[in-house]
Amino acid sequence: MPLISVYIIAFNEAEKVRAAIESVSWADEIIVVDSWSTDGTAELATQLGAKVVQVKFQGFGDLRNHAIAACSHEWIFSLDADERCTPEAAQEIRELIVSANALDAYHTPRRNFFMGRWIKHSGWYPNYRQPQLFRKGAMSYDQKPVHEGYVLHTDKPLGHMRSEIWQFPFKNMAEVMHKANRYSSLGAEKIKGKKISMWSALLHAKWAFWKHYLFKLGFLDGWAGFVIAVGNFEGTFYRYVKALEIQKGVVWQAPIHIEHDQS
């Protein structure tokens, strides 16, 4: 019978990693890829029976490739610390990996919860990221620091699971703002070669708002949809401004005027 490894990437996720690990307790191996957390994430993961691998953070693509290398078994399921594998998804995974007709990689639909509700619109459902179930060797990640892509190493088509996993991306607004700051800094590195101005930063940010709130029907998600759209406005604006800082070597500092004593 094929065996399966689950890897979970985490950094200072002690409040979330327990539920993530417990949701995949059915797996043959659980690997937590940590980047030297300071809040006890690694210790907690070890107590829960996971194998902890420490990897210096050099972008999410690099981190995930290290995670794949750490997995021992034929099949791999990728989970983030803020995701939960549902019993339905676990059952479907077990059925897929023993099937004679199994493909080599599968997208997994994600149901996101924010501000106490399931977000059905705003581009958040079914919210596929990279394929999360795949054979070892069938897939790798590119080296982008954030929103990393993937490369398939198989001639078989990409499959789609039916069963959802759940994601709880933010516990409060402070976490929303912290993540927007971190991701905008990483994202700035990706676009620093583009032609950028403050006006283009504003236009991209406005488009991000309307894309999520209007065209992706975020207004149907109530105030949560509005907050998501505003968050995309801010994150996009700051990403472009930070990229402009990199290009120009800008330091936002007022000139210092020193008055000399004339006495």
Q: What is the mean pLDDT of residues 15-41?
A: 97
pLDDT digits (tens, 9 = 90+) for 95-112: 999 999 999 999 999 999
The pLDDT, as a whole number, for residue 250 is 67
Token pair, residue 228, equals 């998501």
pLDDT grade, residue 230 (50/70/90)? Answer: very high
Task: Tell me the whole-structure pTM to 2 decimals.
Answer: 0.84
Q: What are phi and psi of 167, to 5 degrees?
A: -130, 140
pLDDT digits (tens, 9 = 90+) for 121-156: 999 999 998 999 999 999 999 987 777 889 999 999
Q: Are 2 and 97 in contact (CB under 8 A)?
A: yes
At residue 263, does pLDDT exceed 60? Answer: no
Q: Which residues of 186-210 are buried (b: 16+ CB within 10 A; e: fewer)?
A: bbbbbbeeeebeeeebeebbeebbe
CATH of domain 4-167: 3.90.550.10
Q: Are 133 and 106 in contact (CB under 8 A)?
A: yes
* Number of residues that make up the chain: 263
- Look at residue 243 and give its three-state secondary structure: helix
Contact partners, residue 34, CB within 8 Å, separation at least 6: 10, 11, 41, 42, 45, 52, 53, 54, 55
pLDDT grade, residue 183 (50/70/90)? Answer: confident
Question: Torsion angle, CA of 72/77/81/83, rounded to 10 degrees?
Answer: -160
Average pLDDT for the chain: 92
The pLDDT, as a whole number, for residue 62 is 93
pLDDT digits (tens, 9 = 90+) for 63-99: 999 999 999 999 999 999 999 999 999 999 999 999 9
Domain-by-domain residue ranges, the chain? 4-167, 173-248
- Look at residue 35 and give its three-state secondary structure: coil
